[in-house]
Structure 1
Amino acid sequence: MSIRPPWYACLLAAVLAAPCAHAGIGQRFPSERKVVKDPVTGTMLTFLTSQPHGDAKIYPTHPQWTADGKWVIFRSHMVQGEAMAVNEKTGDIVQVTEGGYSGMLNAARHSMKLYFLRQAGSGQQVVEVDLAKLFADSAAGTLKKADAYQRVTGTLPAELQANGNTALDADEEWLYFGIGRDAAAKYLPAGTKLQPAFGPRHMGAGPAGIARVNVRTGEIRHVVSVPFQVGHIQANLWNAGEIVFCWETGGKAPQRTWTVRADGSGLRPLYPEAPYEWVTHEAVISRDEVAMAILGHRQIPGAPQSVQEPTTGWEGANPGHDDGWGATGTREKPSGLAIVNLRTRQMQIVGQTPSGSGFWHVHGSPDGRWAVGDDFSRSVYIIDRKTHEMKMLTTGHKTTAGDHPHPTFKPDGTAIEIESAMLSADGRTMNICIVPVPEDWLKRGQ
């Protein structure tokens, strides 16, 4: 369940970043890479950043690594309002934007490109960064002006009310983006009943919609309008023209997960949920699969408190314990890390923590071998999808942290990226951290 949509958090990071160093695109910064042993699990954690800049990983719905698998893109206050990349092996840090960005960062999977929106007057520009050229010139010390690496590929007019909730299609030709109420309303059939706000956060009211812009030609097309608030737009990175998004309420939604084709056809619930199910944090993990959490974080009404871990201390750091969500999110019904097949529409729960909140943010390896999730304690667990064995990889990432671990698999399935406050003196500031899949697990089936 999102406290706020991820594009909004990204926008805040880009616009409201604390004052810090000013530098241009391609500027390099000293390595902060540190290998730290988890004091509880013994896992060797590689912190790619370790200073209190205020770093944040890209949301699990989107790629984290560049197409060559060498660099991790992240948000940081290291340079005010700009995005950074860190080399996983060397720890080298390079600034990859200049002039700011708005919302989600979209790293292409097949080309060394980065796409994002940038505020331009009352509208938005679509910006492309040539990362291959940038990294090469940065390493050689032959940096040029920003327009040698960044180019505007399109402009989104103000009347679209475009927001930074964006996703790059698998064909790397179209960028999907969220549109505002007025723009979306023009495409709704007459008489469509608009959904009101849902839940105690007073979010979720419609209408809203999705459009797309061609990053080569600048052409803009409407995709779909819906009578509720749209959040977490993501593209199926293996199957061009397939979109997954959610009804965003800040918590439990009447019907959280949705899918649609790029031409607007095939709109349907991805996983038709029951009123008692609290579905959240869906992420496309392969051509045919979407991982999601069915939360089991709330006490069963009338059941003894000892049935689950006491929730004391969670309320201030984690949402969902406040009134107004209905009788939902308990373990009276099945819960856990669920994976839905986009083709067969079958759902399987592959694991659940024995107590506590249950899984919260989830992901999986594209080859179907592993699943991963965090919980309210900020612990991260890996699951063998063949045997359903579950193992805690790391814990102690502090419930006081400024954000959640948000585990996301590397495309080759060998490692997981998280964000962590483990090294932070203030208990809040996040760093970028790589968690390895256990070596003995990687050898299974080989």
Structure 2
Amino acid sequence: MKQFIIISVLSSFLFLIPDANAQIGKRFPSERKVVKDPVTGTMLTFLTSKPMGDSKIYQTHNQWTSDGEWLIFRSDRVKGEAMAVNEKNGEMVQVTEGGYVGMLNVARNSMKLFFMRKPLDSIAKQNNNNLKTQSTPMQVVEVDLAKLFADSKIGKLKKADYYQRVCGSTKPEMGAGGDLALDGDENWAYFRVGKEEAARHLASGTKLEENYGPRKMGAGPSGIAAMNVHTGEIKYVISVPFQIGHIQTNPWVAGEIIFCWETGGKSPQRTWTVLGDGTGLRPLYPESEYEWVTHEAVISKDEVAMAIMGHRKIQGLDTTGTAVSGANPGQEAAWGVSGTREKPTGLAIVNLRTREMKIAGQTDSGSGLWHVSGSSDGRWAVGDDFSRGIYLIDRHTSEMILLSTGHKQTASDHPHPTMSPDGTKIEIQSAMLSEDNRSMNICIIPVPEEWLKRKY
């Protein structure tokens, strides 16, 4: 389905070519604006407001620096480089130099940023020889944000390698990708490897999965490896017989990994978990053929939020309940019988320890909740829907409200809400201010004050 083209996921793994004139620590003036939501009345804080190709980090990963003052995001203000914006004053700082590939990892316990990139000498070689698909080594890079912000503020910047440290490099034959996830102890960074490397570690006789669904995705094998960010040591974690998608970690429990079987839509078994030593592989939430599970995100020490989609018409009925012929009228039958509301759907939360699942909430109609997040204290859950509405759920009372809307279905991507570490606000990406109805900006939505004051 068109709605399931996750542009941010695809674009995040494209190689971003660095600007030769870009300097880490360069500052940009504030664009901060406070705007009243035209429908709900919620006061929205736009930390960026110009059409400069902004997009937030995916909701599986942390967004805020450990001091709570800055958000890291992607932008075309400096082509191929990442930016930080100060939530209070809106000032922006370039936080990488030399480009990055894939996911940005903002440490929760230290003022550090981690990412992958191709070595600059291999970039030049590939560009000169037009071999952009050739396997190359990948570097894991650490940025000392505390030093960078301090020097940027006083205007006395040093060379990039004073702030950026190469933790280590992968071997070209590993086929390492940019789907990086920093472990909860901030000692290891997990990443996806290519099919050839995964096959070398796959148990003999393992049956490989074939592509699933109309997007022709999901075939294996695939695998996960890790690098020690202090020593550069590399260890292999696990190979599986299907295509691995998002890799994320449990920020509160070291060595706990969550990943998915990526098909571009419904998967036979979407969510998986494994430990950092390769043991404990199992489905996170065992799903049936009628459940369309997607967009899982670790939200607390013991919990993972995910969406069980209820976006498709019930087979054999039109919108009035009248019987009609064919499966899922007007939609792609190739995805099977999943995604209707004949069975429970909504924002689901799975307990990693007890394996119990609860539905926190669901919209009355429409697509249902899609990209999800929640607060680590167990109070809130949040999700968006196909219309770009942002819904907040009180997990204690099951009350749900529409916080914000008007973020434009024509936007180049979806809002991807992420709850702040302190559980008081939500970051999204929005096209509300966009004149072309597509370009997005970084936006903060507060949890209503009267909800924050609730006692249970």
Q: TM-score range by the shorter chain?
A: over 0.9
Shift of 1:22: 4.5
Partner of 1:177: 191
Q: Which of 7, 14, 37 lines up with 1:12 in the alignment?
A: 14
1:200-254 per-residue CA deviation (whole Å, 9 max, x = no partner) reads: 0000000000000000000000000000000110010000000000000000000
Shift of 1:264: 0.3
Structure 2 residue 441 is matched with structure 1 residue 402: no
Letter in 1 for 2:420: K
Give the SS at the match of 2:320.
Answer: helix
Partner of 1:3: 5
Partner of 1:326: 336
Give the SS at the match of 1:106.
Answer: strand
1:371-411 per-residue CA deviation (whole Å, 9 max, x = no partner) reads: 00000000000000000000000001111000000000000
1:246-281 per-residue CA deviation (whole Å, 9 max, x = no partner) reads: 000000000000000000000000000010000000
Shift of 1:304: 3.2
CA contact (8 A) 1:106 1:114 kept: yes
Give the SS at the match of 1:11.
Answer: coil
Point out where structure 2 has 5 or more consecutive residues left out of the alignment.
123-135, 323-328
**4+ residue segments displaced more than 3 Å:** 4-8
Q: How does 1:243-392 map to 2 (within 5 A)?
A: 243-306=257-320, 321-392=331-402
Shift of 1:23: 2.8
Partner of 1:61: 60
CA contact (8 A) 1:209 1:224 kept: yes
Q: How many residues align?
A: 433
1:337-369 per-residue CA deviation (whole Å, 9 max, x = no partner) reads: 000000000000010000000000000001000
1:35-61 per-residue CA deviation (whole Å, 9 max, x = no partner) reads: 000000000000000000010000000
Shift of 1:302: 1.5
Letter in 2 for 1:400: T
Select between 208-217 and 321-330 the one with higher mean Cα deviation.
Answer: 321-330
Q: How does 1:38-77 map to 2 (within 5 A)?
A: 38-77=37-76
Partner of 2:177: 163
Shift of 1:301: 1.1
Partner of 1:430: 440
CA distance in 2, matches of 1:250, 1:163: 18
Letter in 2 for 1:357: S
CA distance in 2, matches of 1:322, 1:79: 40
Partner of 1:227: 241
CA distance in 2, matches of 1:181, 1:257: 20
CA distance in 2, matches of 1:201, 1:332: 25
Quickly say closer, same or farther: Cα 1:12–1:321, change in 2 above 3 A. farther
Select between 321-330 and 374-383 the one with higher mean Cα deviation.
Answer: 321-330
CA distance in 1, matches of 2:331, 2:45: 34
Shift of 1:67: 0.6
Shift of 1:10: 1.4
Quickly say closer, same or farther: Cα 1:285–1:104, change in 2 above 3 A. same
TM (norm. structure 1) is: 0.95
Shift of 1:6: 5.4
Shift of 1:12: 3.1
Partner of 1:93: 92
Give the SS at the match of 1:132.
Answer: helix
Partner of 1:420: 430
Point out where structure 1 has 5 or more consecutive residues left out of the alignment.
309-314
1:43-100 per-residue CA deviation (whole Å, 9 max, x = no partner) reads: 0000000000010000000000001110000000010000000000010100000000
Partner of 2:228: 214
Shift of 1:24: 0.5
CA contact (8 A) 2:13 2:177 kept: no
Give the SS at the match of 1:123.
Answer: coil
Shift of 1:5: 8.2
Shift of 1:13: 7.4
CA distance in 1, matches of 2:195, 2:106: 28
Quickly say closer, same or farther: Cα 1:59–1:82, change in 2 above 3 A. same
Q: Percent identity among equivalent residues?
A: 68
Shift of 1:4: 4.9
Letter in 2 for 1:70: E
CA contact (8 A) 1:13 1:75 kept: no
Quickly say closer, same or farther: Cα 1:22–1:391, change in 2 above 3 A. farther
1:158-208 per-residue CA deviation (whole Å, 9 max, x = no partner) reads: 111000011000110000000010000111111100000000000000000
CA contact (8 A) 1:200 1:323 kept: no
CA distance in 2, matches of 1:7, 1:127: 21
CA contact (8 A) 1:129 1:149 kept: yes
CA distance in 1, matches of 2:184, 2:387: 34
Letter in 1 for 2:138: Q
CA contact (8 A) 2:266 2:335 kept: yes
CA contact (8 A) 1:8 1:164 kept: no
Shift of 1:321: 3.8
Shift of 1:322: 2.5
